[in-house]
Structure 1
Amino acid sequence: MFTWWLTASAMLILAGCASSPETDHSSRYTLSQDRAPAGDFDVSGLEDAQPRYEAPRAAGNKSPYTVWGKSYRVLGSNEGYVATGTASWYGEKFHGHKTSNGETFDMYEMSAAHKSLRIPGYARVTNLDNGRSVIVRVNDRGPFHGDRLIDLSYAAAKKLGYQARGTARVEVAAITVRPDGSMTLAGEPFVPGDRGTLVASGVAADTDVGSGARGLFVQLGSFSSRDPAEALLNRARSVLENPMRVRAIDTQSGRFHRVQVGPFRDEATARRTQSLLEARGFSQSVLLTDSH
């Protein structure tokens, strides 16, 4: 990903990183084509980006802007944004160069480029083919190739398991952080890594756990469409025999499909199951109180 500044009065021209055209007329890059770093970069211990409040900035948020004759607009706010589409990635060619807001691109960090989200910002990106999710910091513009929705850093793409294939079907849900530190994910209250108890709201539907009293659940993910929820449910069923379900919740931001394990009769049992799931790769679970 990169930014060309022609003159103080010229329009900002942006080009897409891993999705850049085969002929790159910029002389600032040593490589003509993007590629993965040499060797086997281990992402097993790489943590997600940690969302935090960042004051609005002008850098990188010019709107509208034009790339290759096409005009794009930057959102006034990322609040409530969720979309599905194709993700690509960018790596060594752009490593060490400036992003659209003037920061330095590091292919080993959890970052991303998006055409319309305000930057810097944060988003949860879910691979719809395998149910894996990561949180990235969005600090760049693009991709501008075809109908691609988002470009992830090489590291983020590898954590999602599509770096070898090049692209993946994903869901992108914006994380909005307010000055007081509170967060929303696509308009829903959200606390990354929180293992505290949450109280769910909304109308339930499409459950596959029988009716009963209120109980405790370990929630593994929440999606705007059912397919990735079912994929995550199948992953969980491959490692655990506990009852589990996909629960559809209608909220002001639309319908969300929540993957939940349970119910549990007591908190101690629920937390033991949560720890077991986290040890097996389900690192974004939360414990919540829910009604069937």
Structure 2
Amino acid sequence: MPTNPHGEVHRQREVAESFGADAERYDRARPRYPETLVERIVAGSPGSPGSPGKGVFDVGTGTGIAARQFQALGCRVSGVEPDPRLAGQARRFGLAVDVATFEDWDPAGRRYDAVVAAQAWHWVDPVAGAAKAARILRPGGRLAAFWNVFRLPAAVADAIAEVCRRVVPDAPFDFRAALTGAADGYQAVFAKTSDGIREAGGFGEPEQWRFDWEWTYTRDAWLDQMPTLGAFTRLPPGRMAEVLDGAGTAIDAMGGGFTMDYATVAISAVRTSTSTGARCP
């Protein structure tokens, strides 16, 4: 979750580069993305004549969670990831990942059918990122930035937020709002993404897609994921252990599990032409 969704999130580099502290946990615990979304992106990308599969470039690859879903549909996937620990984990799955920010990454003339970013575009400058995407996309190619946005059940969120307020009283944001109103917080990110695409040029009008789904968590599965969230990645181990202990007790008292509502939201736009209208860096 963006820890400050109404500010310049992409400038919060200390948060953006904190997710690799436990790359194996990140890959194990983070949710995947709806297959219907991945299929829609692939179907809406042009393909390269004479090449097997569609060429997909993954911005902020992380451990390769989304990249592997595109590979499973026959795509040729490569990516860029600023955290060498996450990139190393992705490479263990056979993915080709360069270590750099997308803004600084050199495409060396390479072109793609789709540029995607899973849970990562808010760490990219929205205008410079869209301009770079326009530069590397073929005509008709698709840019798709998407996020899994969760909303904890109110009772679970209240209990966990109370633990967090006690253990981390100096946190610069409201834990309960972050745990129950993530979709509201992300609206600013969606708007900045669309505005950045329009300002960069070279794309048609951005579209917003939404896919609603749910997932049932056991106590242990949720506690495994919590340390990978942006609100917690920089907590000292002792404080994190206290938060997890309190959260686990609260979930046990509610029956040992819960069902989470998710909305996966994508901002997508199609590269209109090979003209120089895009403000490419």
Return the TM-score normalized by structure 1: 0.20
Of structures 1 and 2, the one with the larger relative CO (CA 8 A, separation 6+) is: 2
Structure with the bigger percentage of strand: 1
Structure with the bigger percentage of helix: 2
Return the TM-score normalized by structure 2: 0.21
